[in-house]
Structure 1
Amino acid sequence: MFNPPSGPDFRTEGFSFNLLMKKETKTQESGTALPKDETSTKKKSSKAAAAESAETADAAAKPKEPEPDESDEAQDKADPICIVIPYLAAKAKGDELRYALRAWEKGMRSVRIVIVGDKPAWAGKALEHIPHKPVSTNPQVDVAHKMMAAIASDRVPDVFVWTNDDIYTLCPVELADIITLKSHGRLANRGKANGVYQENAKRTLEALRKNGVRDPYDYATHTPVFVEKEGLAEIIKAYGCDKEGHLVYTLYANSYFPDHRPTITQNDGRGSIIASVYRPNPDTRILDKVLATRKWINNNDAGWKALEPKLQALFPDKCSFEK
Structure 2
Amino acid sequence: MEALDLVVPVREGPSNQQLRYALRSWEENLPHRHVWIVGYKPAWLNGVNFIPTRQTGTKYANTTHAMRLACEHPEISETFLYANDDMFVMERLDEMPVLHRGPLREAESYYAGRASGSYLRGMRETRDLLVDDGYPDPLSYELHVPLQITDLFGLASGDLG
In structure 1, what is the Cα distance between the partners aligned to 2:31 and 2:100? 26
Q: Which of 89, 99, 104 is the equivalent residue of 1:182?
A: 99
Q: Which residue identity is paired with 2:74?
A: D
Q: 2:79 aligned with 1:159, yes or no?
A: yes
Q: Which residue identity is paired with 2:116?
A: N
> For the Cα contact (< 8 Å) 1:138–1:196, is it kept in 2?
no
Q: 2:38 aligned with 1:81, yes or no?
A: no
Instruction: Indicate the residue corresponding to 1:62 in structure 2.
Output: none
Q: 2:124 aligned with 1:202, yes or no?
A: yes
Instruction: Indicate the residue corresponding to 1:214 in structure 2.
Output: 136
Instruction: Indicate the residue corresponding to 2:57 in structure 1.
Output: 136
User: Relative to 1, partners in 2 of residues 1:174 and 1:83: Cα closer, same or farther, differing over 3 Å?
Assistant: same
Instruction: Could you tell me which runs of 5 or more consecutive residues in structure 1 were left unpaired when the two chains were aligned.
Output: 1-15, 20-79, 239-323
- How far did 1:87 drift? 0.8
- How far did 1:107 drift? 0.7
User: Relative to 1, partners in 2 of residues 1:232 and 1:86: Cα closer, same or farther, differing over 3 Å?
Assistant: farther
> For the Cα contact (< 8 Å) 2:16–2:42, is it kept in 1?
no
Deviations 1:114-172 (A, max 9, x none): 10000001111x12111012253261x33221112112323312222111111101011
Structure whose alpha-carbon radius of gyration is higher: 1
In structure 2, what is the Cα distance between the partners aligned to 1:195 and 1:117? 26
In structure 2, what is the Cα distance between the partners aligned to 1:94 and 1:85? 13
Deviations 1:255-277 (A, max 9, x none): xxxxxxxxxxxxxxxxxxxxxxx
Identity percentage over the alignment?
Answer: 27
Instruction: Indicate the residue corresponding to 2:155 in structure 1.
Output: 233
User: Relative to 1, partners in 2 of residues 1:93 and 1:205: Cα closer, same or farther, differing over 3 Å?
Assistant: farther
Counterpart secondary structure, 2:85: coil
User: Relative to 1, partners in 2 of residues 1:198 and 1:232: Cα closer, same or farther, differing over 3 Å?
Assistant: farther
In structure 2, what is the Cα distance between the partners aligned to 1:186 and 1:165? 26
Instruction: Indicate the residue corresponding to 2:45 in structure 1.
Output: 123
Larger proportion of helix = 1
TM-score, structure 2 normalization: 0.79
Q: How many residues align?
A: 153
**What's the Cα RMSD here?**
2.8
User: Relative to 1, partners in 2 of residues 1:111 and 1:227: Cα closer, same or farther, differing over 3 Å?
Assistant: same
Q: Which residue identity is paired with 2:94?
A: E
Counterpart secondary structure, 1:193: coil
In structure 2, what is the Cα distance between the partners aligned to 1:138 and 1:109? 28
Deviates more, 1:151-160 or 1:163-172: 151-160
- How far did 1:109 drift? 4.9
